[in-house]
């Protein structure tokens, strides 16, 4: 492998790791918002306990999202200097805006939400999580705006080999962006719904004492599932339309269709000159997985809705086992989706403007390999750690001090010098 390939692999791995957690954050926060809103207005302790349970999972997961995100952000400079040189004027904008508009407020308010529990007036505290959720989606929009520019560069002109911004509005209304955002949002809903449903089902199977709570979150999730799945299908197929116009080679690869491939290859050779302008056709595999699995989910989501009648989902038990087994599925789907999108963009980093080869920093293979190994080990370790922690908290069930525990309650006495005793919560 040469340095460029290693850098690509590194981006793929860190991107996937980041996205695994982020997509869960985006989905889970909707449930936290819903439960806390209900708790605030109805003052029902069931909703308070649900807010704490899902809120803690959300926060733990969020930490992993940040860790991956940090690596992603600084990778542009470390491994993809050519990208900044040629398209920095255009691509940098959405990324800078994302950090200023979304992350700043999101991070500040999330810290306040965690540590202001019970100390900030209830309505304001509810407002905090609403803002955190909204800014998370705003951040998804802006980062996808950057990514959509790579897929379908609009709103710029090239002078002396450098891209200059001419129309920022075009960047924000990029046809490649609008469907993608809605598809990603739908995917996040699917992920959140299947996660909440799966964990609730697991708790019910383990004969949790908190039957009322987990039954309620299960019902919420079962209702949310089709709200995510059907739009995901709709906007997924809509994306094909845009892809056909702007990245014909990708569509050919997605269906591994020899006839279309041949035709497109000739078109592209006419446009870009002689060479191989097609992405690898194995992207059809992740594409089929994403599509076929989703059809299954679409059917299942209707069946589950019916099973809500008279609480059959729980009483039959088989659906509970099924839901537990489905927890990993949305994560596989989102990785498949990104493989299609990003590998399908090859051999371009910015479609038709900058090849991946030219986008990479001039690194030695050794330097690239060392950086990749380091990130892979560190990130891999942290991911495993996080999954273990998420698993533990999901298993422990509802604890009333999951969030908002005062310092005084962490240990019996504040004066004990004896550390050998169990360290407390």
Of residues 11 and 235, the one with the C-beta less far from ligand HEM: 11
x/- letters, 352..381, toward ligand HDD (CB under 6 A): ------------------------------
Please report where in the chains the tokens 């006495």 appear, as a residue: 413
What is d(CA 102, CA 55) in angstroms, rounded to the nearest whole number?
Answer: 20
* Residue in 6, 17, 57, 112 binding another protein, rule: CB under 8 A: 112
Q: Which residue, 198 or 236, is less far from ligand HDD as judged by CB?
A: 236
Among ligand HEM, another protein, ligand HDD, none, what binds residue 136 when CB lies within 5 to 8 Å by partner kind? ligand HEM
User: What DSSP designation does 98 have?
Assistant: I
Which residue, 105 or 332, is less far from another protein as judged by CB? 105
Q: Measured between alpha carbons, how far is 128 from 139 in angstroms, rounded to an integer?
A: 16
Binding of ligand HDD at residue 346 (CB under 6 A)? no
Nearer residue to another protein within complex by CB, 318 or 385 = 385
Name which of ligand HEM, another protein, ligand HDD, none residue 243 binds, using a CB cut-off of 5 to 8 Å depending on partner kind: ligand HDD
Interface residue with another protein among 123, 161, 166, 262 (CB under 8 A) is: 166
Segment contacting another protein by CB under 8 A, of 24-32, 84-92, 312-320, 334-342: 84-92
User: Is residue 227 helix, strand or coil?
Assistant: helix
- What does the radius of gyration of the chain's CA atoms come to, in whole angstroms? 23
Among 82, 236, 248, 249, contact with ligand HDD (rule: CB under 6 A): 236
**In this complex, which beta carbon is closest to another protein, that of residue 49 or of residue 56?**
56
- Beta bridge partner(s), residue 164: 157
C-alpha to C-alpha distance for 324 and 322, rounded to whole angstroms: 5
Stretch that binds ligand HEM, among 4-12, 40-48, 213-221, 408-416 (CB under 6 A): 4-12
Residue 8's nearest CA partner among 312, 357, 335, 366 is: 357
Q: Residue holding tokens 């998804």?
A: 140
Residue by residue, DSSP assigns 273-294 as: -SS-----GGGHHHHHHHHHHH
Pairing of strands 156-159, 162-165: antiparallel
Residue 205 or 281 having the CB closest to ligand HEM: 281
Residue 208 neighbours by CB under 8 Å, 6+ apart:
214, 397, 398
The residue assigned the tokens 């679409």 is: 298
Classified as helix, coil or strand, 350 is: strand
CA angle 179, 185, 190 (to 5 degrees): 125
Q: Which residue of 334, 349, 350, 390 would you call a contact of ligand HDD, by CB under 6 A? A: 334
Note whether 345 binds ligand HEM by CB under 6 A: yes
Q: Is 120 in the site for ligand HEM (CB under 6 A)?
A: no
Q: Rule CB under 6 A: which residues touch ligand HEM?
A: 8, 11-12, 15-16, 18-19, 21-22, 25-26, 62, 65-66, 69-70, 72-73, 80, 83, 103, 106-107, 136, 139-140, 143-144, 146-147, 150, 184, 338-339, 342-343, 345-346, 349, 356, 359
């Amino acid at each position: 492998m040469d340095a460029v390939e290693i850098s690509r692999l590194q981006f793929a791995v860190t991107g996937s790791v980041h996205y695994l957690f982020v997509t869960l954050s985006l989905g889970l926060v909707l449930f936290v918002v819903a439960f806390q809103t209900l708790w605030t207005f109805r003052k029902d302790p069931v909703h308070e306990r649900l807010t704490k349970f899902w809120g803690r999972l959300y926060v733990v997961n969020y930490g992993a999202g940040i860790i991956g995100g940090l690596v992603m952000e600084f990778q542009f400079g470390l491994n993809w200097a050519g990208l900044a040189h040629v398209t920095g004027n255009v691509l940098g904008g959405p990324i800078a805006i994302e950090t200023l508009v979304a992350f700043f407020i999101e991070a500040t308010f999330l810290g306040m939400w965690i540590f202001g529990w019970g100390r900030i007036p209830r309505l304001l505290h509810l407002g905090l999580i609403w803002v955190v959720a909204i800014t998370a989606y705003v951040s998804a929009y802006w980062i996808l705006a950057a990514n959509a520019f790579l897929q379908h560069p609009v709103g710029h002109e090239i002078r002396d080999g450098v891209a200059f911004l001419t129309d920022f509005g075009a960047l924000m209304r990029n046809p490649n962006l609008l469907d993608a955002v809605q598809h990603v949002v739908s995917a996040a809903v699917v992920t959140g719904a299947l996660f909440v449903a799966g964990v609730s089902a697991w708790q019910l199977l383990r004969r949790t004492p908190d039957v009322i709570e987990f039954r309620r979150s299960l019902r919420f999730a079962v209702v949310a599932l089709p709200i995510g799945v059907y739009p995901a299908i709709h906007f997924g197929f809509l994306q094909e339309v845009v892809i056909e116009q702007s990245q014909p080679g990708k569509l050919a690869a997605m269906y591994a269709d020899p006839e279309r491939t041949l035709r497109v290859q000739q078109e592209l050779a006419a446009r870009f000159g002689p060479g191989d302008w097609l992405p690898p056709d194995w992207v059809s595999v992740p594409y089929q997985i994403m599509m076929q699995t989703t059809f299954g989910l679409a059917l299942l989501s209707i069946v589950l809705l019916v099973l809500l009648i008279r609480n059959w989902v729980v009483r039959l038990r088989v659906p509970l086992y099924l839901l537990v087994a489905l927890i990993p599925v949305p994560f596989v789907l989102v990785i498949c989706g990104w493989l299609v999108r990003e590998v399908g963009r090859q051999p371009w980093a910015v479609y038709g403007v900058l090849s991946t080869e030219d986008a990479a920093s001039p690194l030695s293979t050794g330097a690239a390999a060392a950086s990749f190994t380091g990130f892979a080990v560190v990130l891999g370790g942290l991911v495993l750690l996080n999954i273990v922690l998420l698993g533990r908290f999901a298993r422990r069930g509802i604890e009333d001090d999951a969030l908002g525990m005062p310092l005084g309650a962490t240990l019996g006495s504040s004066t004990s010098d004896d550390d050998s005793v169990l360290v407390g919560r």
